Amino acid sequence: MVHIVGAGPGDPELITVKGLRYLKEADVVIYAGSLVNPALLDSCKEGAEIHNSAHMTLDEVVATIEQAEAKGRMTVRLHTGDPAIYGAIQEQMDAFSKKNIEYDVTPGVSSFLATAAALRQEYTLPGISQTVIITRNEGRTPVPEREKLKALASHQATMCIFLSITMLDKVVEELIAGGYGADTPIAIVQKASWPEQKIVRGTLQTICEAIKDKNIDRTAMIVVGRCLGADYELSRLYAPEFAHMFRKASK
């Protein structure tokens, strides 16, 4: 059996209770070494076989799991954040299915949510934006034309941009070209939830200058939208005059 587990964004306490239990029980662990906090591996049982997938191809990962399966061993495939977001797990799951290897998925705290926590920010503010767009700028992996930042920017929603910090100039250019004003607030969070977490805030106009000399070149989330520092409306959920299934109106 293979358990695909979301390791969370970095802080070892941000893995789920279930994910940690699987990790403690695993005979074989294959972890995404570029981003998973190695401190999590301290929870593995003695003698567990540990592989860093940063040095492996898909075929090698699958072959390692096949060998473990043949010996009746349990494998944890540990991915950063939540495995469903830029985790490249579909191809692994399809390979497992083809080989009749049983597997399941345990979700994790994605870095875009750890970023909200670091910023102490709600992404969905009434009157400002009720939509969060999770996306990336085009890199070596192509992005469909209809999903280019410029096109998505027309919604003026809260946007969490993964995998793009090295292209910040281009990101800002596309966002402005797509419709965000140059004064739209933007925040960069590097290594959210890690001890070395860094936050830089600015506007689309100022951010490129603001992150110069900050040594932010990887593992960073870009958040843009008027929710950052906005004058928003109070939520309906807690408004006194607003009744719902669990509370009568008090005004």
Residues near ligand SAH (CB under 6 A): 9-10, 35, 80-82, 85-87, 110-111, 114-115, 162-163, 189, 191-194, 219-221
Q: How far apart are CA 115 and CA 92, in angstroms?
A: 27
**For ligand SAH, which is the closer residue by CB, 104 or 233?**
104
Burial of 152 (C-beta count, 10 Å sphere; 0-12/13-18/19+): buried
Q: Look up residue 235 and give its amino acid.
A: S
CB of 61 to ligand SAH, least distance (A): 16
**For ligand SAH, which is the closer residue by CB, 96 or 162?**
162
Q: Nearest residue by C-beta to ligand SAH? A: 81
CB-side neighbour CA atoms (13 Å) of 11? 16
CB of 113 to ligand SAH, least distance (A): 8
CB of 141 to ligand SAH, least distance (A): 11
**For ligand SAH, which is the closer residue by CB, 69 or 174?**
174
Cα R_g (the chain), whole angstroms? 21
The angle subtended at Cα 201 by Cα 232 and Cα 79, nearest 5°, is 95
Residue 249 CB neighbour total at 10 angstroms: 10
**For ligand SAH, which is the closer residue by CB, 68 or 159?**
159
**For ligand SAH, which is the closer residue by CB, 62 or 216?**
216
**For ligand SAH, which is the closer residue by CB, 194 or 232?**
194
Decide if 79 contacts 8 (C-beta within 8 A).
no
CB of 98 to ligand SAH, least distance (A): 24
Q: How far apart are CA 74 and CA 234, in angstroms?
A: 49
Name the residue among 138, 133, 196, 189 with its Cα closest to residue 163.
Answer: 138
CB of 231 to ligand SAH, least distance (A): 27
**For ligand SAH, which is the closer residue by CB, 22 or 68?**
22
CB of 40 to ligand SAH, least distance (A): 13
Q: How far apart are CA 164 and CA 159, in angstroms?
A: 12
In the block, tokens 């299915």 appear at 97
List the strands of the sheet with 185-190, edge to edge. Answer: 132-136, 158-162, 220-224, 185-190, 198-203
CB of 83 to ligand SAH, least distance (A): 6
3-state secondary structure of 112: helix
